[in-house]
Amino acid sequence: MDSDYKNYNLSSIAGHKKQLEFLRGLLTSGRMPSALLFYGQKNIGKKFTAAAFAASVLCGDYASHFAIYDRCASLNFCGKCPSCLGILNGTSQNLLFIEPSGNSIKIENIHRIDSFLSLAPAYPGHRFIIIDEASSMNASAANALLKMLEEPQGKTVFILITSNASMLLPTVISRCLLLGFSPVPDEVLLNVFKTEFSDISGETLRLYSKLSMGSYSGFHGLIEGKYLEKRNFLIDIIFKELFEEYKNKSNNKDPYEIAAKFNAMEKEGKSVWKKEKGSKGLENGPAEENEDKSAVFELILFILRDIYIYIVSKNEKLLYNEDIVDKIKGFALNFGITRKDLAHMIEYTASHIEKINSSNLNKSIAVDSYFSELLYI
Ligand SMILES: [Zn+2]
């Protein structure tokens, strides 16, 4: 559990109103299922919602057991009682998190559930097992879990989370109550962040809510990753050189020169761009290193995408980078770039991102080969 999260209040969740109503309904109606499956796009708050829901139910359980007051129906995470504190510091005997170790959830991970359930809970009430990236379970893990789901135990509730439900065993899915999640609308994110980041201009926040693709943690990532500084550097230096080279087709500029400039600027900018340690959201856990490696290429992809969209549609309103429309237009119109070449660049960048995410490719080598191949497609 990420101890940087201090607030598991369901009311602090951006969007997902219907899902929250549904979850509240399960509790108030006394029809809590033994297994739930949260599915939907990555990084839109499924895991946080699962954790907040479990934490709130458990806080209520604690309160009713010790007759502090009956808070059960109000679903509130107080953050102060032993149940809430146990969750915050990762020692809860009522809530267990299972995550992939390496790339998959293995049988050993599932065995942790057995030992967790064999211990007596700290107080009577529910016990939650949240399985993140459930579709990464290998066959033996999935079968072991299936056995558990087939024999529900008292008030034990499994919450499986996935962005890829089709990879789960149909038999596992059939044991769960399904709850789908959609990206949070721009406007909802914007309202939440207006209060959280009152020092950032409204214009920047609006841009970020658009770029975060409906993801609360994505929004945080943009701010912590200094998105605008990086993007502006790419636009003003790297894209300019790339497109000039494309236009002149002189072949006298070594693409490694662009790569070297890119590496040098990135190195220099590191202190500015470096992500603040420990400020990352729950949703961005284990993949952090890979995300860092590919993040800059994702920025390039975003820019290429906008240039392409403008060439095809001539419609400014469809651009993500809405604050630099004129620059995007300039790249689209002034360098004689063809739709076909741009489509190739996009395709190549996307496959490059996939490649670095699935391997231990050295980043600077990746940058060198990227620019040389991008220019000679
Ligand atoms: Zn509490």
Q: What is the pLDDT of residues 59-115, one digit of tens each?
A: 988 888 877 665 545 678 888 889 999 999 988 999 999 999 888 999 999 999 999
Shared-domain flag, residues 250 and 120: no
What is the whole-number distance in angstroms between the Cα of residue 79 and the centre of ligand 1? 5
The number of domains in the chain is: 2
What is the whole-number distance in angstroms between the Cα of residue 78 and the centre of ligand 1? 4
pLDDT class of 246 with cuts at 50, 70, 90? confident
Gap between the Cα atoms of 335 and 247, Å rounded: 5
Shared-domain flag, residues 18 and 124: yes
Shared-domain flag, residues 175 and 232: no
What is the whole-number distance in angstroms between the Cα of residue 83 and the centre of ligand 1? 6
Does residue 237 sit within a domain?
yes
Six-digit token string for 74 = 């109000």
What is the whole-number distance in angstroms between the Cα of residue 60 and the centre of ligand 1? 7
What is the whole-number distance in angstroms between the Cα of residue 56 and the centre of ligand 1? 7
What is the whole-number distance in angstroms between the Cα of residue 87 and the centre of ligand 1? 9
Shared-domain flag, residues 29 and 170: yes
Residue type, 328: I
CATH number (domain holding residue 318): 1.20.272
Shared-domain flag, residues 307 and 176: no
Does residue 335 sit within a domain?
yes
Shared-domain flag, residues 231 and 326: yes
pLDDT class of 364 with cuts at 50, 70, 90? low
Question: What is the span of the domain harbouring residue 166?
Answer: 10-180
Does residue 188 sit within a domain?
no
Shared-domain flag, residues 245 and 166: no
What is the whole-number distance in angstroms between the Cα of residue 17 and the centre of ligand 1? 22
Does residue 174 sit within a domain?
yes
Query: What's residue 290's pLDDT?
Result: 44
Does residue 49 sit within a domain?
yes
Query: What's residue 53's pLDDT?
Result: 95
Shared-domain flag, residues 59 and 117: yes
Helix (H) / strand (E) element for 36: namely strand 35-39
pLDDT over 50 at 2, yes or no: no
Q: What digits encode the pLDDT tens for the residues 105-123?
A: 999 999 999 999 998 888 8
pTM beyond 0.95: the answer is: no
Shared-domain flag, residues 170 and 238: no
Q: What digits encode the pLDDT tens for the residues 282-330?
A: 333 333 444 466 778 888 998 999 999 999 999 999 998 988 999 999 9
Residue type, 143: N
Query: What's residue 128's pLDDT?
Result: 97
Q: Which of 234, 239, 211 lies closest to 223, judged by CA? A: 211
Does residue 342 sit within a domain?
yes
Do residues 236 and 221 touch, judged by C-beta distance below 8 A?
Answer: no
CATH number (domain holding residue 15): 3.40.50.300
What is the whole-number distance in angstroms between the Cα of residue 93 and the centre of ligand 1? 14
What is the whole-number distance in angstroms between the Cα of residue 185 and the centre of ligand 1? 30
What is the whole-number distance in angstroms between the Cα of residue 283 and the centre of ligand 1? 23
Do residues 85 and 9 touch, judged by C-beta distance below 8 A?
Answer: no
What is the whole-number distance in angstroms between the Cα of residue 85 and the centre of ligand 1? 7
What is the whole-number distance in angstroms between the Cα of residue 34 and the centre of ligand 1? 22
Shared-domain flag, residues 234 and 170: no
Query: Which residues does 14 contact at the CB level (< 8 Å), separation at least 6?
Result: 45, 184, 188, 189, 192, 216
What is the whole-number distance in angstroms between the Cα of residue 7 and the centre of ligand 1? 11
Gap between the Cα atoms of 42 and 284, Å rounded: 10
What is the whole-number distance in angstroms between the Cα of residue 92 and the centre of ligand 1? 12
Domain boundary pick from 155, 180, 205? 180
What is the whole-number distance in angstroms between the Cα of residue 67 and the centre of ligand 1? 13
23 vs 251, residue with greater confidence:
23
Q: What digits encode the pLDDT tens for the residues 181-231?
A: 999 888 888 888 888 888 888 888 888 888 888 888 788 888 887 788 888
What is the whole-number distance in angstroms between the Cα of residue 86 and the centre of ligand 1? 9
Does residue 218 sit within a domain?
no
pLDDT over 80 at 360, yes or no: no
Query: What's residue 275's pLDDT?
Result: 39
What is the whole-number distance in angstroms between the Cα of residue 263 and the centre of ligand 1? 48
Q: Which of 281, 280, 287 lies closest to 100, judged by CA? A: 287
Domain boundary pick from 144, 161, 180? 180
Shared-domain flag, residues 17 and 133: yes
Does residue 208 sit within a domain?
no
What is the whole-number distance in angstroms between the Cα of residue 256 and the centre of ligand 1? 57
What is the whole-number distance in angstroms between the Cα of residue 361 and the centre of ligand 1? 45
Shared-domain flag, residues 30 and 173: yes
pLDDT over 80 at 27, yes or no: yes
Region for residue 211 given its phi and psi (left: phi exceeds 0; alpha: psi -120 to 50; beta: otherwise) = alpha
Helix (H) / strand (E) element for 290: namely helix 288-313
Q: Which of 189, 210, 159, 131 lies closest to 26, judged by CA? A: 159
pLDDT over 90 at 29, yes or no: no
What is the whole-number distance in angstroms between the Cα of residue 4 and the centre of ligand 1? 17
Residue recorded with tokens 């390496």: 102
What is the whole-number distance in angstroms between the Cα of residue 62 and the centre of ligand 1? 7
